[in-house]
Amino acid sequence: MASAKFKYLFAVVFVVYAGSSNPTALWFTQPESHPVIDEASMTRLHLERRITLDGVTEIEWSPDGEWLAATAGKNLYLYPSHNPIQPVVVLSGHEEQINCIAFVRDSQHIVTGSSDGTARLWNITDGSQLRVFRDGLEVWSIAINNDTKIVATGSSRYRNTGSLRLWNLETGDQITELTNDVNYTDNHLTFVRGGLLASVQSSMLPQNENASSIAIWDTLTREKTEMLTGNENFISNIDVSESGELIASVGWDGTVRVWNIENGEEVALLLRYENIVEDIDFSPLDDILVVGAGTKLAVWRTYSYLPIMTIEMNEPIRRLSFNPSQTLLAVSHAGSTVSIWAAD
């Protein structure tokens, strides 16, 4: 990635209706280029932009890097990557808050999951709702296997009666239900590689409440193939390395744990933090991983698991997301802001 900065000397206007009778006209200029965020450039990390969005929770970049999606309440907001100050598209239709999002690989479609008991497939180019996956429980996590066209949803009711279901992305039909258990909930889903699906299973049993493990499912055979254990409390989130070799978890016990997916061995237990660790994100180049704990953004080397640096932020961190080219890092904060960071 070239580090020379440039700007196109023209502006573009978008007019978007997407669920609103009042179109919004937004002007923006083409972006400056940025170097890759890596160990060498981390010391030059600076705040590039700040988005104000009341109640923001989840964030995710589109696979092509053109869009940053953010959820707040019942709505999904889509910001253009070159000037994410105001949303160009707002998707509305859920009856309760949106809890999770996942882009389809073509970057033109996105799936949302909500407490209204549904997941929904949207076309982001025109804001249309294409499909409704009627789960019936509160949908807290979504993962998409773009090769097999399978959508996985993790849902629960009042944090019990957990369910893990597979759906046909193209028809909206339910394929199967992998689990339906009053003692456990399935959350924080991610496809690892092939047909393997990782799911955080959290116990609702009084004697072991909030204890979490990571289950690995073969979605072709519908069988659980592995359980990754060691967390002493609720798992906040998981992420898989770009290579598909590693899976990492963060949680309420203040730890960051990394496993080898192939053999199920825990290969790293990073420093315990005083705060609950909310999120973790492997970089697209698999060279670094970032961790959010309280107001601290910690950066580690992947594979050697040596600390690089810690950045103190002004607000507690909720979610982290690298863009695909690893030139921008989006951070959602508890409250009403998303900060976007770049290196000089």
Domain CATH number, residue 96? 2.130.10.10
| 167: three-class secondary structure by DSSP | strand
Within a domain: 213: yes
89 touches 78 (CB < 8 A) = yes
CB-CB contact of 282 with 237 (8 Å): no
Predicted pLDDT at 86: 82
pLDDT for 234: 84
Query: Taking residues 101-122, what's their average pLDDT?
Result: 97
Instruction: Find how far residue 288's CA is from the centre of its chain.
Output: 17
Does 281 reside within a domain? yes
User: Residue 144, Cβ neighbours under 10 Å: how many?
Assistant: 23
What is the domain count for the chain? 1
**What is the span of the domain harbouring residue 105?**
11-343
- Kindly state whether residue 6 falls inside one of the protein's structural domains: no
State yes or no: pLDDT of 27 exceeds 70: no
Is 3 contained in some domain?
no
pLDDT tens sequence across 260-319: 999 999 999 987 788 789 999 999 999 999 999 999 999 999 999 999 999 999 999 999
The predicted pLDDT at position 20 comes to 36
> Between 64 and 3, whose confidence is greater?
64
pLDDT of residue 182: 58
Query: What does the pLDDT read at residue 184?
Result: 66
Where residue 9 falls among pLDDT bands split at 50, 70, 90? very low
Tens digits of residue pLDDT in 189-224: 999 988 899 999 877 655 555 578 899 999 999 999
For the chain, give the percent of residues with pLDDT over 90: 68
Mean pLDDT of the chain: 86
CB 225 within 8 A of CB 219: no
5 in any annotated domain: no
pLDDT for res 159? 55
What is the structure's pLDDT at 33? Answer: 76
Distances (CA, A) of 254 to 31, 259, 290, 306: 37, 17, 14, 17
| Two structure tokens written together for 135 | 């789960």
Give the per-residue pLDDT at 253: 87
pLDDT of residue 216: 93
At 70 the pLDDT is 97
Q: Which of the two residues, 3 and 250, has the higher pLDDT score?
A: 250
> Who wins on pLDDT, 179 or 320?
320
Number of Cβ within a 10 Å radius of residue 209: 12
User: How many other C-beta atoms can be found within 10 angstroms of the C-beta atom of residue 295?
Assistant: 15
CB atoms within 10 A of CB 280: 25
Give domain status of residue 4, yes or no: no
pLDDT at 23 over 60: no
- Is 243 in contact with 284 (CB distance < 8 Å)? no
Residue 3: what pLDDT?
34
Inside any domain, residue 252? yes
Look at residue 2 and tell me if it is in a domain: no
Strand partners, 235: 251
